[in-house]
């Protein structure tokens, strides 16, 4: 596909565009020339004995309108992109226009968000207006992955259960929204050992949360868990500093049961939370972060 982005294709597109405009003008000139083909101004073609084809010139209004459209195309191509990689004299881009419109919208909304700046998550969670704005921001930017009710689904974290991979403070939530996150569980089957060892480790992981498991297999898998402890900790409770999951709380982001755990050990997993800094202003992220924080604070929500 990289071949489509070299300068040759730009020249090809520009050439085709120019040739098309010239062809339109030539076609108009040819069609506008009147050539009498018979004494009675007909082409000589006759149908149904008396139906004759006249050789009248194009109507002037039609020819004029045709010239106007060609002139408009020439002016447009001079001002805007269209001739290959030529940017046009106005240097216009859809990205630039979008950025300008976003900046204008943010400037208009700045007074609305100004009163929320500096307020804590607790204060914002008790402000109906702030929560209404946060809910709308969540619906527009977060619900696609985390669901309209923020309870997530397989592979997408539940934001209402107070179980946080990187921390549930307002600052940590804002950090996640702003810069995004990349979660990487490396394939560990080779480090664990045989396929049977992997199954035993899976049983031990199930035992950490008190889930139904094979106790004998779990005890065999416990020594092998040492390769997992580097990220999840010796007690399996995870480490928020690196975003590793707590394996003791019965919350399963990527599926529950032996097979789901075996698949994770064998194949690993990469999860990406896209950064939202380009879409949302710091003030919007502050309000949105407070809204997300409030979803897991049942006592705070109940007080509103």
Binding-site residues for heme c sit at 142, 145-146, 185, 228, 231-232, 273
**Phi, psi angles (nearest 5°) of residue 164:** -120, 130
Q: Quote the CA–CA distance of 269 and 290 in Å, as a whole number.
A: 29
Q: Quote the CA–CA distance of 202 and 221 in Å, as a whole number.
A: 7
Across the strands, what pairs with 183? 271
Q: What residues are designated binding site?
A: 142, 145-146, 185, 228, 231-232, 273
**10 Å Cβ neighbour count for 193?**
15
Q: Are 93 and 99 in contact (CB under 8 A)?
A: no
Token readout for 88 is 């046009």
Token readout for 247 is 């394996």
Sign of CA dihedral 39, 42, 45, 50: negative
What size, in residues, is the chain?
A: 304
Across the strands, what pairs with 153? 156
Q: Are strands 269-273 and 181-185 parallel, antiparallel or unpaired?
A: antiparallel
> How many CA within 13 A on the CB side of residue 167?
12
Q: Are strands 181-185 and 51-54 parallel, antiparallel or unpaired?
A: unpaired
Among 255, 264, 293, 298, residue whose Cα is nearest residue 176: 293
**10 Å Cβ neighbour count for 169?**
13
């Amino acid at each position: 596909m990289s071949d489509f982005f070299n300068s040759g294709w730009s020249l090809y597109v520009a050439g085709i565009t120019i040739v098309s405009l010239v062809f339109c003008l030539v076609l108009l000139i040819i069609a506008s020339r009147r050539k009498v083909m018979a004494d009675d101004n007909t082409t000589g073609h006759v149908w149904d004995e008396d139906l004759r084809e006249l050789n009248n010139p194009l109507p002037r209004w039609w020819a004029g309108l045709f010239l106007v459209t060609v002139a408009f195309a020439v002016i447009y191509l001079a001002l805007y992109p269209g001739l290959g990689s030529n940017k046009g004299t106005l240097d216009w881009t859809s990205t630039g226009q979008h950025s300008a419109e976003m900046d204008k919208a943010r400037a208009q909304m700045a007074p609305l968000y100004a009163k929320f700046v500096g307020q804590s998550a607790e204060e914002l969670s008790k402000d109906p207006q702030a929560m209404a704005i946060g809910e709308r921001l969540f619906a527009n930017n977060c619900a696609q992955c985390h669901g309209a009710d923020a309870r997530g689904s397989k592979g997408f974290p539940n934001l209402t259960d107070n179980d946080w991979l990187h921390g549930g403070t307002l600052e940590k939530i804002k950090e996640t929204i702003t810069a995004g996150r990349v979660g990487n569980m490396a394939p560990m089957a080779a480090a664990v050992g045989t396929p049977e060892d992997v199954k035993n480790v899976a049983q031990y992981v199930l035992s950490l949360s008190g889930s139904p498991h094979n106790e004998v297999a779990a005890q065999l898998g416990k020594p092998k868990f040492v390769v997992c402890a580097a990220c999840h900790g010796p007690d399996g409770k995870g480490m928020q500093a690196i975003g590793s999951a707590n394996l003791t709380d019965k919350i399963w982001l990527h599926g529950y049961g032996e097979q789901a755990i075996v698949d994770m050990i064998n194949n690993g997993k990469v999860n990406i939370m896209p950064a939202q800094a380009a879409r949302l202003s710091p003030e919007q992220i502050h309000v949105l972060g407070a809204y997300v924080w409030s979803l897991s604070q049942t006592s705070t929500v109940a007080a509103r």
